[in-house]
Amino acid sequence: MPMLLHINSLLAPTTPPRRASASASARPLTQAQAHSARAAALGIRWSPGVAAAAAASPRTPMAVGEECAAAASVASQGFLSDARAYWVTRSLIAWNVNDNETSLFLYASRDATMRMSDGVIQGYDSKIELQPEPASLPDSVAQKFPFISSYRTFRVPSSVDVASLVKCQLAIASFDAHGNRQDVTGLQLPGVLDDMFAYTGPLGAIFSKKDVCLYLWAPTAQDVSVCFYDGPAGPLLQTVQMKELNGVWSVTVPRDWENRYYLYEVKVYHPSTSQVEKCLADDPYARGLSANGTRTWLVDINSETLKPPCWDELSDEKPNFDSFSDISIYELHIRDFSAHDHTVDCNFRGGFLAFTCQDSAGIRHLRKLSVAGLTHVHLLPSFHFASVDDNKSNWKSVDEAELAKLPPGSDEQQASIVAIQEEDPYNWGYDPVLWGVPKGSYASNPDGPSRIIEYRQMVQALNRIGLRVVMDVVYNHLNSSGPFDVFSVLDKIVPGYYLRRDINGQIENSAAMNNTASEHLMVDRLIVDDLLNWAVNYKVDGFRFDLMGHIMKSTMIKAKSALQSLTRDVHGVDGSKIYLYGEGWDFGEVAQNKRGINASQINMSGTGIGSRMDIIKVMKQTPGIGLAGNLKDYVLITHTGEAKKGSEIHTFDGSPVGYTSSPVETINYVSAHDNETLFDIVSLKTPVGLSIDERCRINHLASSMTALSQGIPFFHAGDEILRSKSLDRDSYNSGDWFNRLDFTYETNNWGVGLPPRDKNEENWHLIQPRLENPSFKPSKNHILSVLDNFVNILKIRYSSPLFRLSTASDIEQRVRFHNTGPSLVPGVIVMSIKDAQNERSGMALLDKNFSYVVTVFNVCPHEVSIEIHDLASLGLELHPVQVNSSDALVKQSTYQVSTGRFTVPRRTTAVFVQPRR
């Protein structure tokens, strides 16, 4: 579209949104260190011999003695390296076999001793013939597993003890009419486990006055016991056997065992090794952990000792808003917020408690944004993730004073950062281990109660300065899998269930690694239960779902319903105020509903759940639909003069630009933690000779488009103060140095060296001359000027409900775009929003102060004067906030009543209002 030619050429992203993949995020502990930590937690000495054995086949220390026998067994078990058959219900198995004369047999071995010898399966305990079913998969099964709907179906005899068989090593083999074996494979069990063992009762630790009951869902486990320890690193106290009922293992222990630490010891067949393993795992429903999650802390999350003063009354202090359309979001990484803030107690920097320092530079900054209208702070992952060591004594750091002496385009800074990046305290945290416990590295002490209390203090402190808290949740993948890794939990307890596997039985990795499978009922349940934990126990006000498209739509709907059912009287939480949104990208194995109806942007229309949309990218297709809430039924005039609905205009990949049924379903943004900051992308995309003043104007122009669009605006922390990451395009593991935020406004962090080689080297030839060019570096006055303009644009958004319309019908009735069609003036968007003029106007009166609002976005490098005859004879005047602005240019914006002529200076957003008299 020619209208946005200027700004599109400047701000178009170089790549689609990216995230730091868990596979790319190296862990803070090497494998040997991880086993050493686990061994220490178990009270086992980690000797060089043990280390060598683990290196050859990295088992938990408890299993190392079994190495030799296991090695001999593995070679003969290679025939079960895949799992291409699906046990989908108690009575049905599906496999993609074509020969109608094929007969199938199911083999089971409780001790995993099956092997292939001279083409014959041996070592099994039972062999069961399966009967072919003439019918295809039942509709309910085909809906749950649409990708195997064409598979042939075979019936399991009703006499078979299925509950015992699912605990075994299983194989299925096909034979031709002459009895010759054709094929053999393992089975995927989630379908039958859901059919037989789906469970709605208690899980985790349930406290009563006299005792504590532990419940663990593990239907494939052959045996489960609980190992209790004296403290986070103390010796084993005792091991208690659990009992099973319908797949749930439980035990009751005395209440005075509270505050002990424990691990589950699960004896279970693990398909990744084709052996029965003894796995030591944390509680999936853990509410407390030791450092690095080596043990689960047995804690009553409702204990009064874990609550800050007035915690139970926090719902009465929550900042109010009337509609989700009133929300605006500020995306912030916990460590970024205070790691360099010397107005914060040095013991609090980089952690939860920094938010309680009410007179710090960071809190003063957030308070300023809150007063202007900002409503929500979105915190990047703050649950227990793998990539940062919880023990601060193990952290390594660089000498920042020495790095500051290096040239702005040097590669030495990044080399120093990369050398320690796996042992420093920095990572975004998109590599989950356990979802339900705050991250220990952000707490003053990772053991015991600190992380719980301090997280609550953080939420409380933010609420008290007028900001609600959004938690970034990552349910689409897990850091680790298998029976041995210290960061593997769920896959140790029910192997092959929590993680989504392909048709060969291999774990799907499209969401980074170890994709989870919310189409499985107990995964779905765990996600919803975890959200309720954060909403009730931590009073979190909203949730942002990482790669939401990899989660099933049904899970999202269930989560929304469960959260909105929370009440202040019963739960101490008003669930109707909890907002959900996420990344609705549709890709990988879930694309086009291949695994069931997923939570992609298109599918989420009508749910009231938001998804993120790059507003500049949208407006490259059409200037209006992004500003009008990305509504699928909003009609606008294209540059050819054709009237089209938003759903009839498509992006380059063929998906519709307009996809929402309500403005609260779109999150509008131009910058996020992924990719470059707004200032960096402006600096990278604009001509080298452009002045810093003009770059600042472009920065603000992009932010104003986000702020004044219908829908929910989303801002990356620091974009309002020209934040730079020295042109780093993926700073997930780039340390404090490249991610620095300076709320004293002295610097924007530009020119602190070439960004890390791994993700940026291919662009170093573009980056280096810019970093070395002093004209690119803004002064403190530039930073303050952009901040003033950002605060003003927030004030304008919240000066009128017309900028925050809550329904599609309101937008369709009130919002118009005027510079459209073949005669449009390139580079200018003119958007009007009309309110009721009087009681007989046929629409509700929303704004008591203004009856008309007109916003003119001029992205051109020159002043524009444009006549809009439809807007002549109105009593428009420049918005009072802009009249009083420190921006001299915006104050030059004018409106001529007789002709409807708007004159707006270069690269300026001007807002005109018609006051009610």
User: What positions carry a catalytic annotation?
Assistant: 546, 583
Q: In whole angstroms, what is the distance from residue 904 CA to residue 200 CA?
A: 61
DSSP string for 169-181: EEEEEEE-TTS-E
3-state helix, strand, coil in the chain (%, to 5): 30, 25, 45
Q: In whole angstroms, what is the distance from residue 339 CA to residue 351 CA?
A: 8
Between the alpha carbon of residue 902 and those of residues 634, 872, 873, the distances in Å are 25, 10, 12
Question: What are 486's two structure tokens?
Answer: 């210290």
Contact 578, 641 (CB under 8 A): no
Q: In whole angstroms, what is the distance from residue 741 CA to residue 315 CA?
A: 31
3-class DSSP state of 780: helix
Q: In whole angstroms, what is the distance from residue 437 CA to residue 534 CA?
A: 9
Q: What are phi and psi of 578, to 5 degrees?
A: -90, 125
DSSP string for 446-497: SSTTHHHHHHHHHHHHHHHTT-EEEEEE--SB-S--SSS-TT--HHHHSTTT
Contact 444, 347 (CB under 8 A): yes
- In this structure, the dihedral spanned by the alpha carbons of residues 387, 391, 392 and 398, taken in order and rounded to 10 degrees, is -40
Cβ neighbour number for residue 431 with a 10 Å cutoff: 29
Q: How far is CA 669 from the centre of its chain?
A: 16
DSSP 146: G
For the chain, what is the largest distance between any 2 Cα atoms, rounded to a whole number of angstroms?
A: 96
Q: How far is CA 733 from the centre of its chain?
A: 16
Contact 787, 428 (CB under 8 A): no
Task: Using alpha carbons only, give the angle 165, 167, 169 rounded to the nearest 5 degrees.
Answer: 80
Contact 666, 712 (CB under 8 A): yes
Tell which phi-psi region holds residue 738, choosing left (phi > 0), alpha (psi between -120 and 50) or beta: alpha
Q: In whole angstroms, what is the distance from residue 710 CA to residue 516 CA?
A: 34
Q: How far is CA 312 from the centre of its chain?
A: 28
Between the alpha carbon of residue 124 and those of residues 66, 74, 121, 176, 722, the distances in Å are 21, 15, 8, 21, 67
Q: In whole angstroms, what is the distance from residue 777 CA to residue 719 CA?
A: 15
Residue 585's beta-bridge partner residues? none
Q: Give the pairing type, strands 468-473 and 815-817.
A: unpaired
| The one-letter amino acid at 227 | C
3-class DSSP state of 905: coil
Cβ neighbour number for residue 845 with a 10 Å cutoff: 13
Contact 808, 661 (CB under 8 A): yes
Q: In whole angstroms, what is the distance from residue 130 CA to residue 162 CA?
A: 13
Q: How far is CA 481 from the centre of its chain?
A: 19
Q: In whole angstroms, what is the distance from residue 492 CA to residue 485 CA?
A: 9
Please compute Rg for the chain using Cα positions: 30
**Nearest to 198, CA basis, from 520, 557, 531, 553:** 520
Residues 698-716 as b/e (b if ≥16 CB within 10 A, e otherwise) read bbbbbbbbbbbbbbbbbbb
| The one-letter amino acid at 637 | I
Q: In whole angstroms, what is the distance from residue 140 CA to residue 15 CA?
A: 40
Q: In whole angstroms, what is the distance from residue 893 CA to residue 518 CA?
A: 53
